[in-house]
Structure formats: structure tokens, C-alpha cells
Amino acid sequence: MRSEDFLDRLKSSVVLFDGSMGTMLYTSGVYVNRCFDELNLKEPERVGEIHRKYVNAGADVIETNTFGANRLKLLPYGLEEKVKDINIAAVRVARDAAGGSVLVAGSIGPVEQPLKAVSQVAPERLREVYLEQAGALEEGGVDLYIIETIADLDEIAIAIKAVKEVSDKPVIAQATFTDTCRTVYDDTPEDALEVIKSAGADVAGVNCSIGPRDTLEVLKRMASAGSGIPLSAQPNAGVPRLIEGRYIYLTTPEYMAEYARRFIQNGASIIGGCCGTTPEHIKAMRSAVRALRTGKVEIFVAKSPVKPKQKKEVKEIKPVPTIEKSPFARKLREKFVTSIEINPPRGFKIEKILKRAENLRAKGIDIVNIPDGPRASMRMSPIALAALIENRTKMETLLHYTCRDRNILGMQSDLMGAHTLGLRNFLIITGDPPKLGDYPDATAVFDVDSVGLVKILDKFNHGRDIVGNVVGVPACFHIGVGANPGAVNLELEKKRLREKISSGAEYILTQPVYSAEKLEAFLSSTGIGDTPVMVGILPLASSRMAEFLTNEVPGMGVPAEIRTRLAKAGDKEKERKIGIEVAVGALREAKKLPNVRGVYIMLPTGDVRAAFEILEAV
């Protein structure tokens, strides 16, 4: 088969792709913390041997070992400048293994993990990343392209168009779905098919994430949509299980072969495998292709068209009104709310913290803020501390929750548990990277960013988890988000804030404000409607503290004129006094702004007295 004959071949026959490269590398002894794509340069023999096994198993097309060989995926390994070298080497290794009869497809995967790709990477930047990788694969001499395992339809469209800019060779684009037959963004197979076709791909399909059974359901729905372009199906070998410390896929080659027949009978022109599939699976699927690789395929489809699946009527779960979610939610819309920050302890003792919460409640403070590992430091679980404070002191809490330390499964479990404990008020933030804190070598997860996590909570408020599974009654999460009026890239900050609000955020907490004018300009030009804002106030204790915040804490820059005033103060008491004066002035002016409904005072030095001096003055 020649490259130029590929699309014609699909009109009358079925093409068999290979299986997983990652699984084979893992089982051969390559640790998962290594960059698999770099092996094209460092261990080409190992990669080539896997390609040859798939060729010997009967694959018509093998994919290059470049699923993660884009600039953003290579960045954590320090390999971002080797995009071209890695991709060209991968084509060379695959071509050597393919011989003269097997085609080489350039594999292109997503730039990031689901739920954060497009929200963190601008569309033009995505285009540049895909253009770079596609250009390298084209220079290497691939026969066709396969864009795969992408859940975000905006991203998959950008990838397709980027490949089309550098090549006129065939392009296959495969979206990935959950077991609900929807993407993690709640898009349907029909949605994906329309986007993929409109973007210019030659073949549309489904791969990864789910096993053969659910892949078949997605394929049927794509086939019933009648787009007129060929379809592909490359499922995982089921769901992996952890056995004796290793992840094992238990789906047998025979089972995959049976579903290969069903894929073909339901309209697939391309079949193959994804995670967990091996040369043994592909060999078994080859038998299925041989059995149906005649005109019988077209006759079967013509005689037994796939009937459109009746859409199940999904009952809409009505969310709880915002003001009914918590006392704080109501107060924020009826009065000016006050809040003071309490950090979780570094050890096990909490008596002093509980006493402080009791005192703050007695003095009329409405709610306490509890940060989640501020500056990536190791502290007691903020969820545990918040539950103890609310249960023992009756002081309401506003719990910060970061995306840094837990994956999507862990976050959803945490949030369900926190809700069950009675916690309702959450500030959703992405979180500081571990390198800033006590454990700089700790692994950051960041499965989602703050926008993605807001979507998760909003889904819970509508009675569903992130993939649409019903979880019972709607939750009562009162969802807050952060904003930085002094951000270096203000347009990006405004765009991100609008995304958070459209995703379900109900109120805003700002980074420390030292200029009400900047805050007013930011809020008036962002388009947040009547969303309540709690202005952040951080009283500066010293010149040294101001310099530290400006130079070492992300998002907390202190204006130069204030740093100069502090530097000229002369002694600590005068520095403290200036810090209070600045805070009072900023809060007094901020209170006049229409959206500002409250204040939260940050106390990195633990000086509660400063908080009351500010509140009393205002």
C-alpha cells in the first residue's frame, strides 16, 4: 500500500493499525517517569523492535513513537528544544521497521491533560506547538498523520488545521470519550464528528480512555450521523488493574478480535489498539480483518444500517439557589462581609487555632479563610481543620482548595467528603508550584486548573460528576475564585476570570489590593456583572516583607512607591504604621466600588491586632 492509495483503500477495505507503544515500553522495563519520546534518540533499537513486532503481527500501518513529542509535553524533561530531532528520529526508526509494505503514521497527541489544555494555552500558542511537531514529522517523511486521544474539540480542530498547513497527506483525527459516550467536556460523538470533519480531517474516530464495548457505542453513534467520511476505532484493552505493583490490562486478544469484527460491521474502515494492546492483540484482530476484508463489509453495512440511537431524556437537576447554600452566601449579598485568614498548623496541635476562631467569631468576624498549603508548604489538611472549626466553634469557614496535589478522582472524592462534613464555601485556585515550598522535588498533579475545577463543582451543584454520572441530590457548593487586578498580563487575567464566572463561579476574592484605582479599572473592564467581590487586604509589616512578596511570591507585587515609603521609614514600628495606613486607604476606597461586598485580611505574620486596627479605622 502506498501513501497516495491510503484513502482509496478505505473505500473498499479495512486498514489495520498497530497497538500501544507506551504499554510495550513499560513492560520492557522503561520506567513511567522517563520520557518515552526521547527513546527515539537514546534507545532507537528498543523502539524499533516494538515496531517490528507489530509489523510481524500484521499491521498495515504503524505509528511513530511521538505521542508526546511536542514542545509543551517535552518541557518538563528539558527537551523542548529537541522537538525536531525527536520527531525526525522517530520517523526514521519506524520507517526502518516498516519495510516497503507498511505505512508510517505520524502520531500527534494532546499538548496537555484534559480540562486544562485550552484554558491554559492560548489557541495561537496551540497552533504553533502543533505546527512545529507536524512540520518535523513531515520533514521526517511520514505517509500520513494520526491526531489522537484529544478530549477538547477546540484543541482537536486546531491540531487538524495545523497539520493541514504543512502537509497534504491524509489526516486521521480521533477524539477520546468516557464510559458515558461523552468527552470530559460533555461533548457527544456527533459533536466530535462534526468538528473533526469541519476542520478538514480525512478520517474521524475514537480511541483510548474506554474499552472495546464503549468504543463500539461511540462508533455506532458516529456511523448513524452519516457524515460521509471514513471512521476509525482504536480502543484500550479495557481498564487497567494494579496487580503486584504493575498496571495490567486484562482484555484478551480473542475478545479484541471479536470486537474488531463488530467495529468493521458497524462502519469502521480503520481499526487498531491503544493503551494495553500488544502485538498479540493486533495479530488476533488481523484474523478478524481477513474474515471481513471483502465487499461483504459494504454489503453488511448496506443491509444492516446502524439505527440512530434514541437519546435518553436526561432529567435536569435544579441547583440550589446561591443564597440558600450557606450563611456566608446570604450575607455576601445582604451586607459588607469581613473575613480573616487562619493558616493550618504545621504540626498536630490545633487548640490555639480553635481559640482564635472562637475569638474572631465573638468579635463579629463573619467567616475565616483557610488556605490550602500556602506557598506549597506542608501543613495540616485544610478540610480537616475547617470541619473542626465549624463543628467546635460554630465559626463559618471559607476553604481554599488547590488543583496542585490531587488528580481528578482525588479531588472529586475530597469535595464530596468535605460537603458531607458540612463545608460549603470554597475558594478554587490553581495553587503554587511545589518548587516554591518545603518539598521542591514533590510532584505536582495539576490534572485541571482553577477553571476546570470550578466546572467540577458546578457539575456537583447540578447533581452530576464531571463526566455526567448522577450523584444524587444537587450539592450546595458556594464557589469562589481568585483574581489579580495587578497581574502583569491583565488581558489574560480578565479572560481567565470571565471563564471562571461562565463556568459557575459565584463570587471573587482578589489578590492583595494596594490601589483602589487599579481594582476599579480591572472590575469595570472585565465584565463580571453583579458578581460579589471580596477585596484582599494584606497589611505590610516591614520593608523586608514588601520586597519578599514582590520578588518571591507569585501574584503579590507591592507597588514601588509603597516599597520606597517603607524603606525610608527608619524603624519597625514606623514600617508597621505605614503598612496599616496603606491597607486602610486601599480598603476605604475599595468599599465605594459597586461590586465590593466584603474584605478578607491576610496575615502572613499572624498579627491579628493589625486586622482589627484596619477594620476599626474603616
> What is the 3-class SS of 374-428, one letter each residue?
HHHCCCCCHHHHHHHHHHHHCCCEEEEEECCCCCHHHHHHHHHHHHHCCCCEEEE
3-class secondary structure per residue, 222-260: HHHHCCCCCEEEECCCCCCEEECCEEECCCCHHHHHHHH
Sign of CA dihedral 523, 528, 533, 536: negative
Domains and their CATH numbers in the chain = 3-303 (3.20.20.330), 325-539+596-617 (3.20.20.220)
Whole-number pLDDT of residue 450: 87
**pLDDT, position 295:** 36
What pLDDT score does 430 carry?
A: 82
How confident is the chain (618 residues) per 10-residue block, as mean pLDDT?
81 91 89 89 96 94 96 92 97 94 95 55 90 97 96 94 96 93 90 96 91 91 90 84 53 85 91 92 85 40 35 70 96 96 91 94 95 77 95 96 85 94 94 61 70 92 86 94 87 91 95 91 93 95 86 73 91 92 95 95 85 92
pLDDT for 515 equals 86
pLDDT at 442: 65
443-to-70, 75, 440 alpha-carbon distances in Å: 21, 15, 8
Q: State the pLDDT at residue 186.
A: 87
pLDDT of 554: 60
